[in-house]
Amino acid sequence: MPDEPRSGCPINAAVEVLGDRWSLIVLRDIMFGDRRHFRRLLTESEEGIASNILASRLRSLTEAGLLTRDDVKRGQRAAYSLTEPAIQLVPVLAQLAAWGLRHRRTSRELRARAEVLEAGGPRLWADFMDELREKHLDVPRPDTDGPTAAERLDAAYAAARGH
């Protein structure tokens, strides 16, 4: 991934990091699916990412400062964590999902989280980002009453799957 974008355009700068077919899917799976290890990302992806593509995207997202990777000894499983810039993509992913709900054919179970994100709006996104900061960056989140944003998203997905 080049250090300098092709132009000074902010959209171009973002697209150079996030604009390939797989980067946002990998971030989605870490963010919303809590898939933080290579094997889970590989085997639990609905889209069926190839292992060489996954390895390449994890490497490029780490180099771009969107992920960190645990330092582990040989034979141990490394966990990937979101960085603050990646966590700040929650509203972007929520808006992409809302667009997909309106303009593309989607499955009932996989649209459930997107519907909750759209209905919850910026307040839910902020709560979810606080939860991600706690999980990935060890930043305590503010105390809140009721279910967490992640619990609401997971409950919607489970209900859509009939569980």
Q: What is the DSSP string of 107-163?
A: -HHHHHHHHHHHHHHHHHHHHHHHHHHHHHH--PPPP-SS--HHHHHHHHHHHHHT-
Global pTM reads: 0.89
Structural domain boundaries of the chain? Answer: 10-82, 88-161
**Max CA distance (Å), the chain:** 48
Euclidean distance between CA atoms 93 and 135, whole angstroms:
19
Distance, in Å, from the CA atom of 17 to the CA atom of 113, rounded to the nearest integer, reads 25
Domain 10-82: state its class.
mainly alpha
Q: How many CB atoms lie within 10 A of CB 14?
A: 13
**Token pair belonging to 58:** 């994890």
User: Which residue is associated with the tokens 């499983």?
Assistant: 77
Return per-residue pLDDT of the chain as tens, 163 residues.
446 767 889 888 899 888 898 999 999 999 999 999 999 999 999 999 999 999 999 999 999 999 999 988 887 889 999 999 999 999 999 999 999 999 999 988 889 999 999 999 999 999 999 999 999 999 998 887 888 999 999 999 889 988 6
For 93, the token pair is 């992913």
User: Cα-atom radius of gyration of the chain, to the nearest Å?
Assistant: 16
- Confirm if 22 and 49 have CB atoms less than 8 A apart: yes
